[in-house]
Structure 1
Amino acid sequence: MKGIIEQAFKGNTDWWRYIVGFFVIFFIWQIGSSIQGIFVYLKLVQEGLKADEILAKLSDMEVLMTTLESNFNFFLLLLGFVFGFGGVVVVIKLLHNLQLKQLITSRTHIDWKRIGLSFGVIAGLLILSVLLDYKLSPTDYQLNFKLQRFLILALIGIVMVPIQTTFEELLFRGYLMQGFGSIFKSRAVALILTSVLFGGLHVFNPEVAKLGYQALIVYISTGFFLGIVTLMDEGLELAIGFHAGNNLITALLVTADWTAFKTHSVFRYLGEPSLVSDVYIPVLIFYPILILIFSGIYKWKNWKQKLFGKIEQTK
């Protein structure tokens, strides 16, 4: 079985195609993302603000995140990723002559059981960790549950969060991983570059503004974790399940004033973020444990070759 990166050689792998393709995907993604800004602009116009005042406010992330009703804003935030997902599908078909499956897995078929298992593992860990923290520090939490608002949130989240997270996996662990791998012929280079770029994507997240640039450690490390899982398992299924479970359960279960998703979740966290609990524990404890769990379940072997080996061009 050829590896996940080697799937790229079934199509067109000219270096310029990946540059053009990335910018096309990014452009389509940003078109979708701009819709939220348009609605915020219209809302501020409705409130009687002048054009120069509105433009000044639109540069404030807090204004962008809080001007519109929470569920509607959540929907608009995720809508941009739907556009991005479509951009990936168009680019790999027209520029690279590949099928979507070849971006996702080296197996004959997409392994939905892997996606489900990974989703379930991270969902269970998140729920247990929040409930444990709630038990230990109840004053840090406020019950935020309103049935009607939560049901709308759940509907939006269940439909659109998996699209958002799958788009990010297709772009980073799929398209760019295959692109860097086919260009540099090195799995290690592909892993490093995609992980750093993935971390950089989150530089404007509110968590980074709150904790400082050290918070990027967790995003870059998440990129490495998902990249390692993808290369060892020769497919995106585990990464797709993990990413969807992490974002969906987080959006539904707990929100805070300093998080990217401000939602009508079950709980509202009143405490302050911590580098120890929010950065170092996931990076140094959770991710290594998850890698060991997945490795044990799927009997991963040839670690050196799969993570650091050369890539041979084959059709």
Structure 2
Amino acid sequence: MHYPYYEPLIAPAREKNEIWRVVVGCLLGTVIYYISTLYFLSLVAGTQGMSTVEYIACLTEIISPSTTAITLFSFVFMMFPVFLITETLQKRRWHTLFAPWRMELKVFIAVTSALLTLGLAIELLPPWTYSLLEWNPNLGFTRWVVLLPVALLAVLIQTGAEELVFRGYLQSQLAARFNSPWVWMVIPSAIFGYLHYDPATWGDGAIWPVLWAFVFGLCAADVVARSGTLAAGIAFHFVNNLYPLVWAGIPDYLSGFALFHLPWTSEEMLEANPMLLTDFLFVVCSWLMIRLVLRR
């Protein structure tokens, strides 16, 4: 596999491409992210008259627009450590994690439009599953429309932060150190998948989100390298997360902004559910669609 368009994003990382810098950067970034997030949640908890521990429990137990918003917007604290570490530890400017802004914007709009069209086509074509959907009891249609801009921004921050870490920082630094895509595509995707392991939420089927995230990570790594932009991965991730977070979500998992609820809990969702196959197929179809848009 050869990715000539990826070279401008790799070149700035070559000057300081020692592997220890990447390891220290990831560890330091994780610590800063957790500390800043806990501090933010403690401030919010104080406004609610709760302890930080009580408020974190509330975020997982009570699914509402406000708790979902807090959870998704907290991902902004994942971005700042990346910029800090890129500037100080890797000795490269933070903006070198991106292509020129006009190119990033052009690719983001093109990929987002194409994937939304694909998703709409899949929804309109048989077999139809509308009978499975139930209205979100905490969110009527009018309120959903009013909150939609906030929801879209929240999802963009969450997905953008994750892509910045895994496909922006980690992937480009590894690509500067190792020539083989099998290294710089697989390692970030494997870590990305592992971080989706959550048996407390998904029960006995917890391995499936891990495998899904690994496959998604590989596809996202490929489109970022093919396009030479981080925007391709962000748009891919953004549209993929819109369905469960904004359209039809699982009742007990980050569905505060979702207009509809699916008739399964998070554990039931992964027990012999045919929608699992649909999720994997949508990722692959989206990847192919992006390649058509990029023509690469």
State the TM-score, normalizing by the size of structure 2. 0.80
Query: Which sits farther off after the overlay, 197-206 or 4-13?
Result: 4-13
**Conservation of the 8 A alpha-carbon contact between 1:104 and 1:170:** no
Match of 2:23 among 19, 34, 39: 19
**Conservation of the 8 A alpha-carbon contact between 1:149 and 1:264:** no
Match of 1:193 among 155, 162, 187: 187
Structure 2, unaligned stretches of length 5 or more?
A: none
Quote the residue 2:106 is aligned against: 113
Partner Cα distance (2:56, 2:191) in 1: 23
* Higher Cα radius of gyration: 1
Question: Map of 1:171-190 to 2, 5 A cutoff?
Answer: 171-190=165-184
> 1:206 Cα shift?
6.5
Partner Cα distance (1:71, 1:8) in 2: 40
Quote the residue 2:290 is aligned against: 294
Partner Cα distance (1:108, 1:156) in 2: 23
Partner Cα distance (2:200, 2:102) in 1: 38
Partner Cα distance (1:250, 1:42) in 2: 30
User: Which one-letter code corresponds to 1:281 in the other structure?
Assistant: T
Residues 1:215 and 1:169: Cα distance change in structure 2 (over 3 Å): closer
User: Which one-letter code corresponds to 1:25 in the other structure?
Assistant: G
User: Which one-letter code corresponds to 1:253 in the other structure?
Assistant: W
**Conservation of the 8 A alpha-carbon contact between 1:166 and 1:240:** yes
**In the comparison of the two structures, how many residue pairs are matched?**
286
Match of 1:28 among 27, 32, 37: 32
> 1:4 Cα shift?
5.2
Quote the residue 2:158 is aligned against: 164
**Conservation of the 8 A alpha-carbon contact between 2:185 and 2:222:** yes
Match of 2:269 among 270, 273, 294: 273
Question: Map of 1:208-247 to 2, 5 A cutoff?
Answer: 208-209=202-203, 211-247=205-241
Partner Cα distance (1:2, 1:232) in 2: 6
**Conservation of the 8 A alpha-carbon contact between 2:246 and 2:257:** yes
Q: Which secondary structure does the structure 2 equivalent of 1:245 belong to?
A: helix
Quote the residue 1:65 is aligned against: 60
Structure 1, unaligned stretches of length 5 or more?
A: 301-315
Residues 1:119 and 1:207: Cα distance change in structure 2 (over 3 Å): farther
Quote the residue 1:142 is aligned against: 134
Q: Which secondary structure does the structure 1 equivalent of 2:292 belong to?
A: helix
> 1:155 Cα shift?
3.4
Q: Percent identity?
A: 20
**Conservation of the 8 A alpha-carbon contact between 2:114 and 2:293:** no
Partner Cα distance (1:264, 1:206) in 2: 22
> 1:35 Cα shift?
5.0
Quote the residue 1:305 is aligned against: none
Partner Cα distance (1:124, 1:108) in 2: 24
- 1:272-306 superposed Cα distances (whole Å, 9 cap, x missing partner): 425564433333x3333333333333332xxxxxx
Q: Give the superposed CA RMSD.
A: 3.3
**Conservation of the 8 A alpha-carbon contact between 1:161 and 1:248:** yes
